[in-house]
Amino acid sequence: MMTAKEIRDSFKQFFESKQHAIVPSAPMVIKDDPTLMFTNAGMNQWKDIILGTRDPEPRRRADTQKCLRVSGKHNDLEEVGHDTYHHTMFEMLGNWSFGDYFKEGAIDMAWEYLVDVLKLNPEDLYVTVFEGDASEGLERDDEAAGYWLKHVPADHIINGNKHDNFWEMGDTGPCGPCSEIHVDSRTPEQRQESGISGRDLVNKDDPQVIEIWNLVFMQYNRKADGSLEKLSMNVIDTGMGFERLVRMLQGKHSNYDTDVFQPIIKKEEEITGLKYGLKEETDVAMRVCADHLRAVSFSIADGQLPSNAKAGYVIRRILRRAVRYAYTFLGQKEAFLYKLLPTLVEEMGDAFPELKAQQTLIAKVMKEEEDAFLRTLDKGITLLDKAMEQLKAEGKTELDGVQAFRLFDTYGFPLDLTELICRENGYTVNEEQFNVEMQKQKERARNAAAVENSDWQTPSGSPCLGGEEKSSLNREDLGGSQQFVGYDYTEYTCHILRYRKVTQKKNEFYELVLDYTPFYGEMGGQVGDSGVLVNENETIEIIDAKRENNQTVHIVKQLPKDPSAEFMACVDTDKRDASAANHTATHLLDYALKQVLGDHVEQKGSFVSPDTLRFDFSHFEKVSDEQLRQVERMVNDLIRQDIHIDEHRDVPFDEAKKLGAIALFGEKYGDKVRVVRFGPSCEFCGGIHASSTGRIGFFKIISESSVAAGIRRIEAKTGRECEELVYQLEDTLKAVKSFFNNAKDLRGVIQKYIDEHDSMKKEIEQFQAQAVERFANQLVEKAREVNGVKVVKAVLPLEPAAAKDLVFKIRQQIPERLVCALGSRHLDKPLLSVMLSDDMVADHQLNAGQMVREAAKLIQGGGGGQPHYAQAGGKNLDGLSAAVDKVIELAKL
């Protein structure tokens, strides 16, 4: 029996023998694409080639791609664990042809691999072809069906509708018919028993008749208005679920029974003392945890930590789903997932070295997240207990959906958990209301994020990718490709290649692509350039530049009157220089941190703008002030050495590694990379840098803090920003000095003031203590008697602690039948104190807390306390005396 690893290798070997370049998996977390957070298919990393904005060579490629399907168009999350063949994170084996072989080649190779190489039984295989769609004006894919007939009998070919057999990248963009290969993996007994042929179970959600490979024939482009047009370059894009393939070849009936998952499940059994395969809900929970462990670990390794926004939130939700299942069904009340990590690393660490290298960090982050969520779960359960008590008191049996939604929204309590706990206690949940709340929230989110793109236009007025007559053009389809000249120029002559209107939250703006541009589009943490587009007739402000599909997209508020004119694209060089200096400083900081703290320091995020720089890195404790100074000194030394940039463009990846450049985990690198060196610092980097380190001027760390378990953040400033900083410090110091008559020994003088202040405070406290004794005696003597109750009232200058002391002293002396109201003032703030003897509370039903709250209105304040003693502070000193009288009045003696 082949192991998972052997199967992975055999796929690569097969396609290598078919002249495919074997390429690495792109990161699972996508950093620079606003339309997609996670890789959900092998083709994602080739999007720009398919769109024609990147060189398609080599035209044949194959890989295994880490995918995650938990958000957006592909979301399998709710299936995962409940079925045995959908995962959140999975490996997709794929082969591509960019304008090389098409349907026949793809079909022949897929068949050869499955049947001749892997020896799957052809009788168990079924294929689907697109049946056509009248509304789109598309006919049945007879071409594909014809090639399949070379390999399979006609009754193994099944027509599929648009939903299953027409693949689309998104709402717009490349698309085309596809052919899926399905496998009937039922046992002979199961077949006998059901009496239904495999053919009739294809695409019917039968867990034993499943799709393993999808061959997509991209030949159209979907426009914003919904219409289709021919792509000029036909593309083959295939994707085969690795875990499903392994299951077939290992003769299993569940992905979780293969050697991909078994070691993890064994570990789960060992920790929980439960057995897999006995009880459905235990099994589901074990599958959920085994699956989610992979998704979370790989995301963290790719640099995406759990957080409360965007991609980070998706990861947090996956982790919480696992914790919840482990908590409810596996009896794990303490962090659990992180204990499975060593097993995962042992199994997958060789194929994916990023896992092994970052094991400590992943474990730390995971455990901290688990602990935090378990605390939240506890809080939520307490709240739910209270809510159920309330229901009981009111004689109700249904928890309202608004409460259930609040538990979900604030405490991450999904409906099923709330329902489970309620059910155990004999209550139900109003699901309908819950769904209404959920819908409301979704709409709020949708409205906030809605972006509408219209089709790209060329300046001549024709839409891009235009129809048949243009189909001989290749990359010119999109009006041509762009040349980035920003490493060498900040001004350049250019034309607009294409533009489109974008509407976001009712804001309208335009995106422009230029043939030549010096503008750097936001990427790798460095913000985009701003500037202008000018010619003798007009000036258009470029407010931002973004990076999309390997190109700079310029954001403008209005289109030029003549979009086909020639322009000069000019970058705002002040901002650019400041950003560049900050970027270079970031490299030096990275280098210095590794020197001072050690080699475990790994970049985990960075942000570079004209006014600041931020650098996140793995490190397990606070960086001491001494270490921060060391880092600053080292960076400033490198700045003073004024080291010139040593830049290597278009270096093959392996050569770059030989140069000693530091590659980041979770970063996508092309075949050719750019290496930037400043003396000892050498990094892979596509960013804009200072021409020499001296341009940074000066480097100063502003803060060091923690962003997550095992991740620290440094914020720093350079150059002119530092100048401002020095002035601010100077001004503050001057102001402080002037408070102390510009004393020479400022520290000494301030220390003297502090000492004096402390000893004066002590003295005042002593005086007040004596005064309290005196006041107590006087007030007790002066106490009036009303209907047998002793009434004590006064307004005195006392600090709060002394006021409290005083009323307790009075109570000591008059332990029965006492009503005491004391107004005190300290630093112009009024304070009202009420003290009652216990019998006044018990027999007269008085409550000091209520009385003080009522009376405190007169001093514009509030407070409270116990039934016998309460205090309220306020704002209105003038009302103090009236408030004291009010208290006595409320006693109704």
Question: Which positions touch ligand ATP (CB under 6 A)?
Answer: 69, 76, 86-87, 90, 92, 210-214, 239-241, 243-244
Judge whether 157 and 148 are in contact, CB under 8 Å: yes
Q: What is the CA radius of gyration of the chain?
A: 36
In our burial notation (b when 16+ CB lie closer than 10 A, e otherwise), range 745-777 reads eeeebeeeeeeeeeeeeeeeeeebeebbeebbe
Nearer to ligand ATP, 44 or 490 (CB): 44
Structure tokens at 233: 């370059």
- One-letter-per-residue 3-state SS of 599-647: CCCCEEEEEECCCCEEEEEECCCCCCHHHHHHHHHHHHHHHHCCCECEE
406's enclosing H/E stretch is helix 401-411
Identify the burial level of 224 via C-beta atoms within 10 angstroms of its C-beta, where 0-12 means exposed, 13-18 middle and 19 or more buried.
middle
Nearer to ligand ATP, 73 or 279 (CB): 73
Nearer to ligand ATP, 92 or 265 (CB): 92
State phi, psi for 169 to the nearest 5 degrees: -70, -40
In the chain, % helix, strand, coil (3-state, to 5) comes to 45, 25, 30
Closest residue to ligand ATP: CB criterion: 241
Q: How far is the CB of 244 from ligand ATP (least distance, A)?
A: 5
Residue 281, helix vs strand vs coil = helix
Nearer to ligand ATP, 86 or 103 (CB): 86
Residues with Cβ within 8 Å of residue 701, at least 6 apart in sequence: 628, 631, 632, 714, 715, 716
Nearer to ligand ATP, 163 or 892 (CB): 163
120's enclosing H/E stretch is none
Nearer to ligand ATP, 120 or 623 (CB): 120
Nearer to ligand ATP, 216 or 366 (CB): 216
Q: How far is the CB of 11 from ligand ATP (least distance, A)?
A: 13
Q: Give the residue among 331, 333, 305 at the shortest CA–CA distance from 319.
A: 305
Phi-psi region of 72 (alpha: psi -120 to 50; beta: other; left: phi over 0): left
Q: How far is the CB of 90 from ligand ATP (least distance, A)?
A: 4
- Whole-number Å distance between alpha carbons of 505 and 245: 45
Q: How far is the CB of 255 from ligand ATP (least distance, A)?
A: 7
Nearer to ligand ATP, 212 or 772 (CB): 212
Nearer to ligand ATP, 95 or 214 (CB): 214
Q: How far is the CB of 118 from ligand ATP (least distance, A)?
A: 14
- Whole-number Å distance between alpha carbons of 224 and 257: 44
Nearer to ligand ATP, 87 or 583 (CB): 87
693's enclosing H/E stretch is none
551's enclosing H/E stretch is strand 551-556
Judge whether 583 and 716 are in contact, CB under 8 Å: no
Judge whether 887 and 821 are in contact, CB under 8 Å: yes
- Whole-number Å distance between alpha carbons of 671 and 364: 33
Nearer to ligand ATP, 243 or 805 (CB): 243
